[in-house]
């Protein structure tokens, strides 16, 4: 399996822009300029397996140290799985602009140890901490029209084309983060699109339980709780997005497995795998 150094050869394709923080934190403008990297620079640079570490309760039983040699993508407060370890996430993703205020210590830790970070540009600019790794600004993908799809344009954007026009946000899967990503109301789905973009072909989901009642493993009665809309969006966006991915993206050259025993995602959509299965596949 290809190993990834802390700073990959992504500088050549990077678009670096010195973006100053807002006046409320003007001292950042001179000490910590914001350098943005182009997603094209990291496209298809990897291969093999990757773990996606989410924040469902089942993640707590995952022996993260046992698989420290495998690249990992994580998100939001799941970065707490990396506390007291020497593991540096291959990518850290956060789409919740309020997370850095609600969980400042965890956000700061993510910025300090992650090799690459994917954030909204305005969030990255306003945050009072800068990533030590490469920073990639997020953008949402736009669904290509039916005609554009027929003409072969935007082939990296895998979408549904309903027979009747719909005002709802489009379901889709982006194979090229340079064209944006499709939001399924769970950052784990963004992480899978990231994994495809950089070239990983074997994805293992950890803690993708998607059960709002179970909460997040890093939260307790005394801690700050971030907003959660899993129940609200599960049947309208989350499950349909995973079903689209299962039907149109997953195949012999891109496999996704779910390690959670309590996940709401049906095995028929994303097959379940045990730790023993994972060890066999990585052998």
Confidence of residue 227 (pLDDT cuts 50, 70, 90): low
Residue-level pLDDT at 34 = 86
Residue-level pLDDT at 153 = 67
Confidence of residue 236 (pLDDT cuts 50, 70, 90): very high
Flag whether pLDDT at 115 surpasses 80.
Answer: yes
The more confidently predicted of residues 57 and 160 is 57
High-pLDDT (> 70) share of the chain, %: 76
pLDDT, average across residues 29-45: 83
The more confidently predicted of residues 164 and 235 is 235
pLDDT, average across residues 105-134: 97
Confidence of residue 231 (pLDDT cuts 50, 70, 90): confident
Query: Which of 273, 254, 253, 255 minimizes the C-alpha distance to 263?
Result: 273
Query: Which of the residue ranges 15-29, 51-65, 131-145, 200-214 has the most confident prediction, judged by mean pLDDT?
Result: 51-65
pLDDT, average across residues 72-96: 97
Residue-level pLDDT at 171 = 93
List the alpha helices (DSSP H) in the chain.
27-31, 99-102, 104-113, 121-126, 146-150, 187-198, 230-233, 239-248, 275-282
Q: Which residues contact 35 (CB under 8 A, 6 or more apart)?
A: 14, 16, 17, 18, 135
Mean pLDDT of the residues in the chain: 85
| Environment class of 84 (CB within 10 Å of its CB; exposed 0-12, middle 13-18, buried 19+) | exposed
Tell me the whole-structure pTM to 2 decimals.
0.84
Flag whether pLDDT at 151 surpasses 80.
Answer: no
Residue-level pLDDT at 47 = 98
Confidence of residue 31 (pLDDT cuts 50, 70, 90): very low
pLDDT, average across residues 76-87: 96
Confidence of residue 152 (pLDDT cuts 50, 70, 90): low
pLDDT, average across residues 265-269: 98
Does the domain at residues 12-282 carry the CATH identifier 2.60.40?
A: no
Reported as a single tens digit per residue, the pLDDT across 166-188 is 546 789 999 999 999 999 999 99
pLDDT, average across residues 16-22: 35
Find the Cα–Cα–Cα–Cα dihedral 198, 32, 85, 65, rounded to 10°.
0
Flag whether pLDDT at 19 surpasses 50.
Answer: no
pLDDT, average across residues 112-128: 97
CB 173, CB 247: distance < 8 Å: no
pLDDT, average across residues 260-270: 97
Return the SS3 of 6: coil
Write out the DSSP string of 103-160. Answer: SHHHHHHHHHH-SEEEEEHHHHHHSSS--SSEEEEE-B--PPPHHHHHTTTTTTEEE-
Structure tokens that stand for 61 in this block: 């039983």
């Amino acid at each position: 399996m290809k190993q990834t150094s802390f700073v990959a050869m992504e500088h050549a394709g990077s678009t670096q822009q010195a973006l100053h923080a807002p006046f409320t934190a003007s001292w950042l403008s001179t000490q910590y300029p914001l350098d943005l990297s182009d997603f094209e620079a990291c496209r298809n640079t990897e291969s093999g397996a990757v773990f996606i570490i989410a924040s469902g309760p089942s993640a707590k039983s995952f022996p993260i140290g046992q698989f420290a040699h495998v690249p990992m993508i994580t998100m939001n407060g799941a970065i707490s799985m990396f506390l007291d370890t020497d593991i540096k996430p291959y990518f850290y993703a956060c789409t919740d602009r309020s997370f850095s205020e609600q969980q400042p210590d965890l956000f700061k830790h993510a910025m300090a140890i992650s090799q690459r970070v994917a954030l909204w540009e305005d969030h990255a600019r306003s945050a009072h901490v800068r990533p030590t790794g490469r920073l990639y600004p997020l953008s949402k993908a736009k669904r290509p029209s039916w005609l554009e799809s027929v003409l072969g344009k935007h082939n990296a954007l895998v979408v549904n084309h309903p027979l009747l026009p719909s005002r709802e946000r489009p379901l889709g899967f982006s194979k090229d983060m340079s064209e944006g990503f499709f939001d399924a109301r769970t950052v784990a789905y963004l992480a899978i699109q990231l994994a495809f973009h950089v070239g990983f072909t074997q994805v293992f989901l950890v803690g993708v339980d998607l059960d709002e009642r179970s909460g997040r493993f890093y939260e307790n009665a005394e801690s700050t709780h971030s907003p959660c809309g899993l129940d609200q969006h599960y049947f309208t966006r989350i499950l349909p997005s995973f079903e689209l991915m299962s039907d149109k993206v997953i195949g012999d050259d891109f496999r996704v497995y779910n390690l959670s025993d309590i996940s709401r995602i049906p095995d028929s959509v994303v097959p379940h795998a045990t730790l023993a299965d994972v060890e066999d596949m990585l052998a």
